[in-house]
Amino acid sequence: MLKPASLADIKAELQTLPPDELLALCLRLARFKQDNKELLSYLLFSAHDTDAFMATARSAISSGFAEVNTTSIFYAKKTLRKLLRQVNKIARYAADKEVEVALHLHWAACLRQLPHHLTNTAIVEKMLASQLQKIGKLIKGLHEDLQYDYKRQLQAIRG
């Protein structure tokens, strides 16, 4: 297996390349994997407007919750895990703690709106508890004014 170069080595090499070769490398990287293409799309088109990005992400999360199979607990849990993976991926792209907190809070709020027979299962309760704990830790790293607002939202979700 090939051992990848360090980030410092990659950065130094990228600085020596002309712009047309950089463009070719970026396009090749985007074709290689879907995650790379999504990250590049975020950086090029959405990174400058986080409010619009968050609105789009929230609507995607809400539409995902609208598609949850409420008749089968098994499929509902699979869909919830899939949505949580998407939230984590979107938060990783944004690399902003405030965006991460807001998206996880939205996921938890949408989860609370599902029918009681789905949210009352042990696995879903553990998923929610771990997310609420994660949100609490993330909130501690934010500015004090933001902490107050997000703590109120977190308390509202906890009930």
Whole-angstrom distance, CA of residue 123 vs CA of residue 126: 5
Whole-angstrom distance, CA of residue 94 vs CA of residue 53: 9
pLDDT digit string, tens, across residues 57-95: 999 999 999 999 988 889 999 999 999 999 999 999 998
* Cβ neighbours for 83, distance < 8 A, ≥ 6 positions apart: 61, 64, 65, 107
Whole-angstrom distance, CA of residue 84 vs CA of residue 29: 26
* Cβ neighbours for 124, distance < 8 A, ≥ 6 positions apart: 76, 77, 80, 111, 118
Describe the crossing of helices 97-112 and 73-94 by its angle, rounded to 10 degrees.
160
pLDDT greater than 90 at residue 159: no
Q: How far is CA 17 from the centre of its chain?
A: 33
Whole-angstrom distance, CA of residue 62 vs CA of residue 120: 20
pLDDT digit string, tens, across residues 93-112: 998 999 999 999 999 999 99
